[in-house]
Amino acid sequence: MAARVVADGLVLRAWEPADAPAMVELFDDPEVAYWTPLKSPFDLAVATEYVANARRATDKLQLAITTDGVQPLGEVMLNLATGSLGYAIGPAHRGQRLGVRALKVLTAYAHETAGLPRVILEIEPDNSASTAVARAAGYRQTDLPPEHVVDKGRELTLFTWEHLAE
């Protein structure tokens, strides 16, 4: 499912096969490997497969975060079935509020275009960067018990943050 969302100085667009080399620069990073379910190492073969899967998906929007509609700076993702969002910003592009801006834009899209009354983030309590992004984007932590999962051999405790349609 392809979408293009333009707002707040961002162009969120579908991944293209030509983006695979840029994706390696963005996602083959220890922080991305630690905090996200993306494969590590994230090499060209993984990037090529990722783009192909993203382009085939019908229940997810996996969008490159750009400011010019061309150069990817990160990704923001919306799972239409679960209403969950996720994001990753390449190391060279952190500190520019790209995560907050992209999360706000895709949250509005989720409510207004996809018709989701509630969208969620699942964040580890010690992921202070994502917690700050969630708060800045208008999310609040719920009282739901944390979910315990294992990803890439690491035990995770995920707290649910939510944003409700107005």
pLDDT in tens, 17-42: 999 999 999 999 998 988 998 999 99
Q: What is the DSSP string of 92-147?
A: GGTTSSHHHHHHHHHHHHHHHTS--SEEEEEE-TT-HHHHHHHHHTT-EE-SSPPE
Q: pTM, whole model, 2 decimals?
A: 0.94
Which residue, chain included where needed, has tokens 């707040």? 8
Is residue 3 very low, low, confident or very high in pLDDT (cuts 50, 70, 90)? confident
